[in-house]
Structure 1
Amino acid sequence: MTSIQAFFYESGAVTIFVISWLSIYFVLTLWIFVYKFFSIRASIEREKKSLDRIIKNEQKLPNYPIFDILGTNGNTPKEMLQIWKNQVLKYSTTGLVVLSIVSSTAPFIGLFGTVIEILNAFGRLGLGGQVSFDVIAPIISKALVATAAGILTAIPAYSFFLLLRRKTYDLSVYIQMQIDVILSKNIEHK
């Protein structure tokens, strides 16, 4: 714990700002992933059950508020089913763009902190005249922490983005299967 305190005490304002920014990114990444993972998982389970009930003729339409206005006459316009699909997918993908942004910008933010810290260090060292590797190595090592933090923030953000995108795809498959079943039943009744 003392080394962490010493790191922040010895670091410049830009490095502290970069580490703080990346910390906010990391917390945001975790929050979005946990929230969306459970939300999308619940939606998948709901749509699986709905598909099963539609196939078994236990219900005619998916359990979604947009279908309450149509009644249960069984003649659902294809456009309404598409609107329903778009609404569900829009809701399930909300937040994924943030994970994409974090995964693509975090390494650059960390690199920015590293470059500024190294520039400041060389500026201070240049004023002192003769400088040895023993003096430069710890400064560069400390400066590289920002780059490492950026990479460590980007890796989970990108992984979570891919996992949630796959879950959203699974959800869209169940929705499309319901649409296909409903439309095929509408054709059979005509």
Structure 2
Amino acid sequence: MEQLAGAGQPVDFSLIALFARASLTVQIVMVILILASFWGWAIIIQKFITFNAARREADRFDRAFWSGQPLDDLYDRIGENPSGPAERIFSSGMAEWRRSLRDDGNLIAGVTARIDRAMNVAINRENDRLTRGLPFLATVGSTAPFIGLFGTVWGIKTAFEEIAISQNTSLAVVAPGIAEALVATALGLLAAIPAVIFYNKLSSDADRITGGYESFADEFSTILSRQLDDE
């Protein structure tokens, strides 16, 4: 670095050159932040795909559920392998309903509570699937700036050590080392800002989707309770 500046040659400030000239500790910090950023974007894209698929599946199932066909026929059509979250929640309730039927056609006592518990378990399982990976975004959003700051502090320390050894405080000597150190903070912010933004959005979307499942479970439980009262 000093030789280039002392010879009057221009210093390369591209990201690749700054990374190559940085100390090993700062390079490790940069690699960690770059990997965290790529992993975070992979989770974001995957969640958008998953959430859109869940919404479309819920819309299709709602149309089938409220089409007026008997619930037993709908359950038989779905079969043992429901294709989406809404169908799995419905199937868990219907499966418990059928298991509660006795040979004489009557129902075992407490069937409504068992159906509610079965659907709640299914809803919690689907919510876990929806929110899987979001804690990583929260972790990146909260820690990446500090990891980048650590890299910057370490890089500045190294730059000052090199300045003290060379005993040259000219801007041409100081600037490259400082620039290398600041790249770590920039990468930390580059990883953290999208992670925080999309964590908040995706968490809100997951809550809305789960809320839709809970509303359906309440409506389904009401329908079954009404049938029990009619019997």
TM range (shorter): 0.7 to 0.9
Structure 1 residue 106: deviation in Å?
0.9
- Secondary structure of the 1:63 match is helix
In the other structure, the counterpart of 1:40 is 51
Kindly provide the amino acid, as one letter, of the partner of residue 150 in structure 1: G
- Shift in Å, 1:187: 2.5
**Alignment match, 1:121:** 159
- Aligned equivalents of 2:16 and 2:44: distance in 1? 30
Number of the residue aligned with 1:156: 194
AA of the residue aligned to 1:159: I
Partners of 2:35 and 2:188 lie apart in 1 by 12
Query: Does structure 2 retain, via aligned residues, the 8 Å contact 1:93–1:168?
Result: yes
Deviation at 1:71, TM superposition (A): 5.9
User: 1:59, 1:159 → 2: CA distance?
Assistant: 44
Structure whose CA Rg is larger: 2
CA spacing shift, 1:130–1:30, aligned 2, 3 Å:
closer
Percent of aligned pairs sharing the same letter: 27
Count residues with an aligned counterpart. Answer: 190
Partners of 2:13 and 2:175 in 1: CA distance: 20
Contact 1:15–1:117 at 8 Å: present in 2 too? yes
Structure-to-structure mapping, 1:1-150, within 5 angstroms? 3-58=14-69, 60=71, 62-64=86-88, 66-67=92-93, 69-70=95-96, 77-129=115-167, 131-150=169-188
Task: Tell me whether 163-172 or 4-13 shows the greater mean CA deviation.
Answer: 4-13
TM-score, length basis structure 1: 0.87
TM-score by length of 2: 0.73
Matched residue type, 2:23: G
Q: Which moved more, 1:72-81 or 1:131-140?
A: 72-81
Partners of 1:46 and 1:157 lie apart in 2 by 27
Shift of 1:173: 2.0
Pick closer, same or farther for the CA change 1:16–1:27 going to 2, 3 Å. Answer: same
RMSD: 2.5
**Superposed CA offset, 1:20-77 (max 9, x none):** 1111101101111111211122112212332333334336375215356336679661
Distance, in Å, in 2 between the alignment partners of 1:16 and 1:139 is 13
**Partner AA of 2:129 in structure 1:** Y
Moved more, 2-11 or 80-89: 2-11
Structure 1 residue 156: Cα displacement: 1.0
Structure 2 residue identity aligned to 1:40? F
The structure, 1 or 2, with the larger RCO (C-alpha pairs under 8 Å, 6+ apart) is 1
Q: Is the 8 A contact 2:18 2:179 kept in 1?
A: no
Which structure 2 segments of 5+ residues have no match? 1-11, 76-85, 102-106
**1:38 and 1:58, CA in 2 relative to 1: closer, same or farther beyond 3 A?**
farther
8 A contact 1:54–1:181 mirrored in 2: no
Distance 1:172 1:29, change over 3 A: same
